[in-house]
A = this chain, B = another copy of it.
Amino acid sequence: MNRIKVEKLLINFKTLEKFKYFKEYGNQELSMLEDLESNMVENDSDSPFYGIYFGDNLVARMSLYTVKAKYDQYFEPPQDYLTLWKLEVLPDYQGKGYGKALVDFAKSYNLPIKTNPRINSHGFWEKMDFQKAHYDMERDLGENPLIWLPEGVEEQENK
């Protein structure tokens, strides 16, 4: 079996075209497309997306973004943390470890991670050692965030 390679995705028309195969295509992708078309961003600029190619096909992706410590409402001690979203593996490529490879890549920064899971994905996140954050209405509203704690990091207590 080939080693799975996670790559940072660059903003260009080819990548944006491949994004259309993913269910969670939304404002974020449309906004990148507009920025590219109007030369607001240069071709091959950094995107917040990481992905896995199988041959020429982008078969899995996630978005990863660093939240600064001063905005940290989840972790103790408060610190920079990663927010992970739009983790998705195309249907034909599921069950092959691509999702895990992306999550492992995120964990390799050794920062706490927060994600807001899709309905029915809790089994996956549990296997990835994510746990439910204590629910705080004013912070979480309709979200059911899951968090991953690297060694030495705890969850913030509810206010």
Residues of A within 8 A of B (CB): 23-24, 26-28, 30-31, 48, 63, 65, 83, 85-86, 116, 119, 132-135, 137-138, 140-145
Task: Kindly state the separation between the CA atoms of A60 and B145 in the bound complex, as whole angstroms.
Answer: 24
* A27-B144 in contact given A48-B137, A137-B48 (Cβ < 8 Å): yes
* A45 CB to nearest B CB, Å: 12
Copies of this chain in the oligomer = 2
Supply 19 further A-B pairs (C-beta < 8 A) apart from A31-B134, A86-B142. A26-B144, A27-B133, A27-B135, A27-B140, A27-B145, A28-B137, A28-B141, A28-B142, A30-B135, A31-B135, A31-B137, A48-B137, A63-B141, A63-B142, A65-B137, A65-B138, A65-B141, A83-B141, A85-B142
A144 CA to B26 CA, complexed, in Å? 7
